[in-house]
Homo-oligomer: A and B are copies of this chain.
Amino acid sequence: MTAWCFGIDLGGTSVKCALFQTDGTVEEKWEIKTRVENEGKEILPDIAKTILAKMEERKIAKEEVAGVGIGIPGPVDEYGEIACAVNLHWGRKNIEKELAELTGLVVKAGNDANVAALGEMWKGGGQGSKNLILVTLGTGVGGGIIVNEKMVTGAHGAGGEIGHASVEMDEEEACNCGNKGCLEQYASATGIARLARRAMTSCEEDSVLRGIRNVTAKDVFDAYKDGDALAAKVVDQFARYLGNALAIFSCVADPDVIVIGGGVSKAGQVLIDCVEKYFRQYAFTACKDTKIKLATLGNDAGIYGAAKLILSK
């Protein structure tokens, strides 16, 4: 009988690790450093070592472990292979095969954003749903799509790459990806700061934002909550782009619930309220009641989703 599984969230600076009971309870969490030097050669051996050490410490036999789920910052295909993971200095690599050889355990890998979506569905803001869109509003905009409880990987590992949905055909500034008009340019932390700078240059209106040297998304939401009119315009612009984009995505995947996470979502329920207003306006009739919720797992979404990769096999 298997009683345990591991959930691993591999990031560019650290690896979040967790030991789960197979009922979904987290038994222990810890982190190790991600050693990206030497083309990241040590990363998988380091992960294997920490897993095997934990098993020895706890006197867990291989037969008692259902497997290791792992989220990777790069596109992972259905065979557990990645073409590249820039932050890890990795080229083509079969994660599942390599880590299975190193540990003697079953390994299942997925893209980190998709894995986080699985985590939020299982134990977070999307609990009880089978179809979910996770949007993470951080430095960039990431996302994961779950259809019938399974991650949408896509033909090029780009399923859920919603930050690069082209939502403004008339944009003149370029996104980091090279295209113009990506959702990320309006809805990420840097995108919201950009909208604020634009708003300040395009009018003379007074605003507390003008007294701040490098306006951040948090400044914008704080000023909005304090009743600043210019900040309200910026938030409205952000909400209109994001609400409309979520309405379009819903015509494709038709989720039960849309979960919003990432640093920007710390603004809280006011963010949901303003996005929801535009979502309801633009959504197709059948989808107008789709729930929009805040993510609840924060940085733990990845370890939960990784464990779920194993437990839902």
Residues on A lying within 8 angstroms of B by beta carbon are: 75, 78, 129-131, 133, 145, 147-148, 150, 152-167, 169, 177-179, 181, 240, 244-245, 247-256, 281-287, 290
Cβ distance A267 to chain B, nearest Cβ, rounded Å: 22
User: How many protomers of this protein does the assembly include?
Assistant: 2
Q: Which residue of B lies closest to A251 (CB)?
A: B165
- Give the shortest distance, in Å, between A280 (CB) and chain B (any CB): 11
Tell me whether A166 and B290 are in contact (CB under 8 A).
Answer: no
Please, which residues of chain B bring their CB within 8 A of the CB of A287? Answer: 156, 158, 161
Which B residues touch A148, using CB under 8 A?
Answer: 78, 150
**Given known A-B contacts A164-B284, A251-B162, A282-B169, A155 and B244 have beta carbons under 8 A apart:** no
Asked if A248 and B165 make an inter-chain contact with CB atoms under 8 angstroms apart, the answer reads: yes
Instruction: Verify A162–B252 contact, CB threshold 8 A.
Output: yes
Partner pick for A254 among B154, B179, B283, CB 8 A cutoff: B154
- A158–B240 touching, CB < 8 Å: no
Complex interface: chain B residues within 8 A of A162 (CB): 251-252
Please determine whether A166 and B244 come into contact, CB atoms closer than 8 angstroms.
Answer: yes
The minimal Cβ–Cβ distance linking A242 to chain B, given in whole angstroms, is 12
User: Which residues of B have CB within 8 Å of A256?
Assistant: 155
Report the bound CA distance from A155 to B256 in whole Å: 5
Say how far A44's CB is from chain B's closest CB, in angstroms: 24
Known contacts: A155-B131, A178-B285, A179-B282. The answer to whether A252 contacts B75 by CB under 8 A is: no
